[in-house]
Amino acid sequence: MRSRVWGGTTAVVLVGLLAAGCGGGGKDTSEQGAGEAGSGDLPGVTVTDCTGAKATFSGPSKKIVTSNTSSLELLLRLGAGDKVIGTGFPPGKGTLPGALEAQARKVKVLSKSVIPKEKLLGSGADLFVDTFASMNMGGGMGDAPTEEEFKAVGIKHIYLKSTACAAKRKGPMTDLSAVETDITSLGAVTGTSAKAKELVDGMKEKVATVQKAVSGTAESKRPTYFFFDYDAGTKQPTVVCNRQIANAVITLGGARNVFAGCDGDFKQVGWEDVIAKNPDWIQLGVRNRGSAAANDKAFDEAEKWLRSNAATKGLKAVKKGHFLRIGSEQTTIAGVRNADSVQEIAKTLYPGKVGQS
């Protein structure tokens, strides 16, 4: 199986972001008080995890380490890149758009995968932003630091709730509010709330435009949709379930995820399960290869595999050539670009009704 560089989740979530509810769709149902994340860049900003445990910041963080590209990209978009002193799972060539890639290249790489415990604790950071729930640091690198160890060296440890809270979520993720909450929270703890609001407002505007355009189609009449994670391996497909951000992206784009009945984020199934669903559309989920030409080649390979494989060539979507070429990262990793994927899906499924900004 091809590796999934952004890791998997476990049921254990120690410290996360903001007091937003992890219930259906990720809506924030908590009460905001003075000094809580989202209320401005104030001393004593408090963020909470999926269980309500709190972490308080006396001022903006100045030395941040990120676990991987997802949290790094959010901080770069917030204009807090100068505060990031290290990262794990660095972005590959071409992974980040435009000037963000050049900024990311200036960030010290602490590890090409999970940051080893001792290196993380000795990094000099005052904040560690973790994209996913606690992961075992395998490969002889030792165990993940405990919260006591983080505290002993003065490192606040927070997670992105949009990804780390999948195991705690009470219902499917059907909107981007959890992602927007993460952006707002990171803005509050880095002193970039104004930029965070700008990013969130932009996402909301794009999604609202799509929702208006597809509102005339009843949910039961919307096209069925399968995210084909080509890079996760073809022997046994890995599908996105209802607690993964991709489920929200697909739903907001006016489609119905054929594996929305699966509780969790990702799950391996059999091709017979995909055949039974017989989707109307298939997204060729390919990770960025570093250039448009390389990406096109990868999309071609994924499509060719579906057309030539005995188990999939008879699928409705394959016969009709109903493929979407949208990268995996902007669909399955929480971030600003999720709203762009919503637009791209809707534009393809509802031609003439949805434009592209």
Q: Using alpha carbons, list the distances in angstroms from residue 39 to 64, 135, 158, 193.
A: 21, 31, 18, 9
What's the mean pLDDT in 164-184?
A: 88
pTM over cut 0.95? no
Residue 280 and residue 237 share a domain: yes
What's the mean pLDDT in 88-109?
A: 90
**Domain CATH code at residue 128:** 3.40.50.1980
Residue at a domain's end among 191, 224, 241: 191
Residue 162 and residue 230 share a domain: no
Residue 274 domain-assigned (yes or no): yes
| pLDDT for res 36 | 46
| pLDDT for res 167 | 67
Residue at a domain's end among 191, 208, 227: 191
The residue among 240 and 27 whose pLDDT is bigger is 240
E-state strands within the chain: 45-48, 54-57, 64-66, 84-87, 127-130, 156-159, 224-229, 238-240, 256-257, 266-268, 281-285, 323-324
Q: Using alpha carbons, list the distances in angstroms from residue 64 to 14, 46, 60, 109.
A: 18, 17, 10, 13
Average pLDDT, the chain: 85
Residue 15 domain-assigned (yes or no): no
**Poorest-confidence range of 141-145, 152-156, 214-218, 261-265?**
141-145
Residue 81 has pLDDT above 60, yes or no: yes
Residue 12 domain-assigned (yes or no): no
| pLDDT for res 137 | 38
**Poorest-confidence range of 75-79, 147-151, 309-313?**
147-151
pLDDT band at 132 (very low <50, low <70, confident <90, very high): confident
Residue 287 and residue 180 share a domain: no
Phi, psi of 203 (to 5 degrees): -65, -45
What is the rounded distance in angstroms from the CA atom of residue 17 to the CA atom of residue 23? 15
Residue 5 domain-assigned (yes or no): no
Residue 252 and residue 158 share a domain: no
Residue 277 and residue 332 share a domain: yes
What's the mean pLDDT in 324-330?
A: 94
Residue 88 has pLDDT above 70, yes or no: yes
Residue 325 domain-assigned (yes or no): yes
| pLDDT for res 26 | 39
Residue 114 and residue 31 share a domain: yes
Number of domains in the chain: 2
Residue 98 domain-assigned (yes or no): yes
The residue among 185 and 132 whose pLDDT is bigger is 185
21 in helix, strand or coil?
Answer: coil
Residue 97 domain-assigned (yes or no): yes
Per the structure, the complete domain to which residue 336 belongs is given by 216-349
**Poorest-confidence range of 52-61, 113-122, 155-164, 227-236?**
52-61
Phi, psi of 95 (to 5 degrees): -65, -40
| pLDDT for res 356 | 54
What is the rounded distance in angstroms from the CA atom of residue 164 to the CA atom of residue 158? 10
Residue 122 has pLDDT above 50, yes or no: yes
Residue 3 has pLDDT above 50, yes or no: no
Residue 177 and residue 46 share a domain: yes
Residue 229 and residue 154 share a domain: no
Residue 265 and residue 140 share a domain: no
Residue 184 and residue 285 share a domain: no
284 in helix, strand or coil?
Answer: strand
Q: Using one digit for the tens of pLDDT, what is the confidence trace for 12-64?
A: 232 333 333 333 443 433 333 334 444 444 457 888 777 676 788 888 999 99
| pLDDT for res 43 | 58
Residue 168 and residue 283 share a domain: no
Residue at a domain's end among 175, 191, 207: 191
Q: Using one digit for the tens of pLDDT, what is the confidence trace for 282-313?
A: 999 999 888 889 999 999 999 999 999 999 99
Residue 120 has pLDDT above 60, yes or no: yes
Residue 320 domain-assigned (yes or no): yes
User: Token match 């984020």: residue?
Assistant: 265
Q: Which percentage of the chain shows pLDDT scores above 70?
A: 83
Residue 261 and residue 163 share a domain: no
